[in-house]
Structures are given as structure tokens and as C-alpha cells.
Structure 1
Amino acid sequence: MSRDAGLEKLIRQELGERPGLSEKPMFGGLAFLLDGNLLCGARNDGMLVRLGKGNDGWALALAGIELMVMGDRRMNGWVRAGAKAYGNDALRKRLLDAALAYVLPLPPK
């Protein structure tokens, strides 16, 4: 899996400068972490977003967004947004804002 520099740039612009934000190559792409907790990721096959178990129904109801699957494992609480979904500025912001809302209260790792 190769990285998507354009998507990485979009995510960086959306997240901005924020204390505790870091990046780490992971899952065949680039993961964004907040205080050590996975927040989202960028791969050439889409934007991965952590919404938390039970918080992903609204996103899964939208076109271009599906449940994240790693191998045979269904990753409940994580979604993968395709290019048409993450290319929509308002939807990308909504997804990342929802990820921040879920991850911000988590204890630092």
C-alpha cells in the first residue's frame, strides 16, 4: 500500500497545529495521533477515521464511506472514506471533527 501525499496534506490543513498531534507511518499509510491515540490515517485507498464504536452509523449511511476492514477483521468504530467523500471539504471536516470529539477525552498514551 502506498501513501497519498495529497490526502496527507488535506488532513494536515484540516487538523492544523495542535498540541499532542503527531504522525507515524502505519497500516501502509500515514497515521495521525493525538496524545498517542490513533485519530485518523491517510492511505492511497482512502482516509481512515476513528469515530468510536457506536458513533459511526451516521457516516456509514453516506455515499463513499464504508466500515474499515483490515484483512478479515471488521474495525467497528473506524470508517474508510473514499476520494469522493474526503474530497468534499465539508464532509472531510465533519469526519475529522467527529474523530477529534471521540479522541480528545481519551487519556494520553
Structure 2
Amino acid sequence: MAYDEKLADRVREALADIPDVEEKKMFRGVTFMVDDKMCVSVSGDELMLRLDPDLTEQLVEEPGTRPMVHGDKHMKGFIYISEERFRNQKDFDRWIKLALDYNPKAKSSKK
């Protein structure tokens, strides 16, 4: 599971003040669970976010983004963000905020 450890540290820092954050190895990287719900993943040098499914189509039209695909199905509410889209802190914060804003509405992964 190769992933960008510096990027994972940026995510850790962004989530440092959020209660109930857990890290799990998944999606070929590390996933940050917030309140037992998948929120942000670092896979390779990309971010993968869980966000409002109603925003997916709009956001994947932005350069440097792509939908998460499982088999041949686009997973609505999950997108990958390439490195050039979050190099500066303002852009990084925007993506993390989108994931955190949706988190309270997301279904729990806890069984």
C-alpha cells in the first residue's frame, strides 16, 4: 500500500481538531474515518473524498478530478482529486471541507 505519507500528514493535521477520527488501511492507502464513516483517503498521491452525491457530477467536471469507479460503476459521492488540485492550502482546505460538510449526512460504515 504505497501512499504519499506527506499528504497523509496534511490530512492528519486538517482533521486534528475533529473528534472521533480513525485511520484504516484501505483503497491502496490510508482512509480517515470520521464518526465511523469514511471521509477522506490518501491513495498514492491523490485524495479520495466522500462528499455529497449531488455534487459529484459537477465536481468531476473540474480539471484534475475523476469519479471513483468500482468495476464498471461510477460511485456517486466519491471522487479522486489529483495532486495539482490541492497543492496550495486554500484548495486543500476546500476539498477537506467538502468531505467534512457531508460527513454528518453520510451513512455509517460501522456494522
Q: TM-score, normalised by structure 1?
A: 0.86
* Aligned match of 1:88: 88
Structure 2 SS opposite 1:55: helix
Partner Cα separation in structure 1 for residue 19 and residue 9 of structure 2: 18
* Aligned match of 2:104: 104
Which amino acid is 1:95 matched to? W
RMSD: 1.8
Question: Aligned ranges for residues 1-109 of structure 1 at < 5 Å?
Answer: 1-106=1-106, 109=110
Q: Alpha carbons of 1:44 and 1:65: their partners in 2 closer, same or farther (altered >3 Å)?
A: same
Q: Alpha carbons of 1:57 and 1:91: their partners in 2 closer, same or farther (altered >3 Å)?
A: farther
Unaligned runs of 5+ in 2: none
> Deviations for 1:13-56, whole angstroms, at most 9, x for unmatched residues?
22223211111001110000011100010011410011121122
Q: Alpha carbons of 1:88 and 1:45: their partners in 2 closer, same or farther (altered >3 Å)?
A: same
Q: Alpha carbons of 1:48 and 1:107: their partners in 2 closer, same or farther (altered >3 Å)?
A: closer
Which amino acid is 1:18 matched to? I
Give the aligned length: 109
8 Å Cα contact 2:67/2:79 also seen in 1: yes
Partner Cα separation in structure 2 for residue 105 and residue 53 of structure 1: 11
Q: Alpha carbons of 1:58 and 1:73: their partners in 2 closer, same or farther (altered >3 Å)?
A: closer
Which amino acid is 2:90 matched to? A
Structure 1 SS opposite 2:90: helix
Structure 1 SS opposite 2:96: helix
Structure 2 SS opposite 1:97: helix
